Amino acid sequence: MLQHIRYEALLEQTRKELPYRGTHNRFPVGSRKQSNKYFLTEERLNGESIARVIYGERRQYTAISEELHDHLRGKINVNVVTRGSPQEPTYYRIDTVPNELGIVREDNTFEFTAHHLSQGENNILTKWSYGYFNTSARHGGVVHSGLKVFHPIWHGARFSMDNDSKSYKPYQVFGLAVKRKEAKDHFKSYEKFFIVAKTMALSMEWKDFEQTAVEVINQHVTGFDWHNARGYYDPEREEKFKSIALAIKDVAPLDAYILYVCADNYNVMARVTSVVAGGNYYTRQLSMQELYLSFHRRVTRDIYKAAPELFKDVEYDTGKKYPANNWGIKVIVDGQQVKQY
């Protein structure tokens, strides 16, 4: 892992290259022209020599008081910003700081200290390695895949640069697996809902769905404000529609289905809203089969997420590629769960 920036290689750079002008400990990792990729040599109090590997810069947000915000606003080389609602604003000072990726130590280990690892950082780390760094949501986050090795990457992770399979600290990887018998029993209460919703939904035309959706929302969502309804993410609307759908799924399965679709599919909600406004500019009709399949996937996922007792932990072999997991990956170090980048 990261064999191209081993401690000996960086030490050789300090012998071949002069530090950048105005500094005494800033050296290029590779080409001197690429000045955004550099390392800083540092002597610690215990006598250990380290190199901090830097890739460009990043913004650092620091929360400040309203008084300090008003004092700093307008000053040269000081950037402040206000976030949140006008009723509850939050004030921040924005500083530009080096984007540190990690620390190379004398024992040829690399410790990840980055604030974040995104596409740019992964690309650079890959170029310095014999493997690949990439972000995989179904593997928990950022992972490193090399020759016969596979590691999750988290803040504070420390790996040998001589031996890809060696971690400075042992760790465990667990994935969530569905308890099939318990899940089958749990879903029995939804069988009627799915069967009736599917039968009625697939027998409808898109134009009928639009008109029915308006009637369903007016009937079940008291005082719904069509004037301010929009076809984008609205967490309050989504939660309200889904809670009503759950309450009526056994007595009015079609109505529950329509509310679920309108809660999750913002494109559908935008079209339904335009019907009420009397100016439906959407000419393409949506596939009712695609709508139902999407609905079934989302509802199934929501049911599983609301019932953690339907899952069990499965431990994977450390250092080996573990299967992609839709339900979650946990990395345990020293008995505590750590968060992957």
pLDDT at 284 over 90: no
pLDDT at 135 over 70: yes
Would you call 283 helix, strand, or coil by DSSP?
Answer: coil
Residue 232: pLDDT band (50, 70, 90) is low
What pLDDT is recorded for position 142?
93
Domain residue limits, the chain: 3-64+97-170+318-338, 184-305
d(CA 79, CA 15): 39
Arithmetic mean of pLDDT, 260-266: 82
The secondary structure of 170-207 as a DSSP string is -EEEEEEEE-HHHHHHHGGGGHHHHHHHHHHHHTS-HH
Render pLDDT for 19-74 as a digit per residue (tens, 0 to 9).
899 888 899 998 888 888 999 988 775 778 889 999 999 999 999 998 898 888 88
Can you give the pTM of this predicted structure?
0.76
Instruction: Give pLDDT, residue 70.
Output: 86
Contacting residues for 181 by C-beta, under 8 A, at least 6 apart = none
Q: How many CB atoms lie within 10 A of CB 124?
A: 19
pLDDT at 295: 87
**Nearest one of 87, 116, 95, 104 to 42, comparing CA atoms:** 104
pLDDT exceeds 90 at position 143: yes
For residue 126, what pLDDT is reported? 93
d(CA 273, CA 244): 19
CB 170 within 8 A of CB 328: no
Pick 152 or 277 by higher pLDDT: 152
User: What pLDDT does residue 45 have?
Assistant: 56
CB 81 within 8 A of CB 95: no
Give the burial string for 18-30 (b: 16+ CB within 10 Å, else e).
eeeeeeeebbbbe
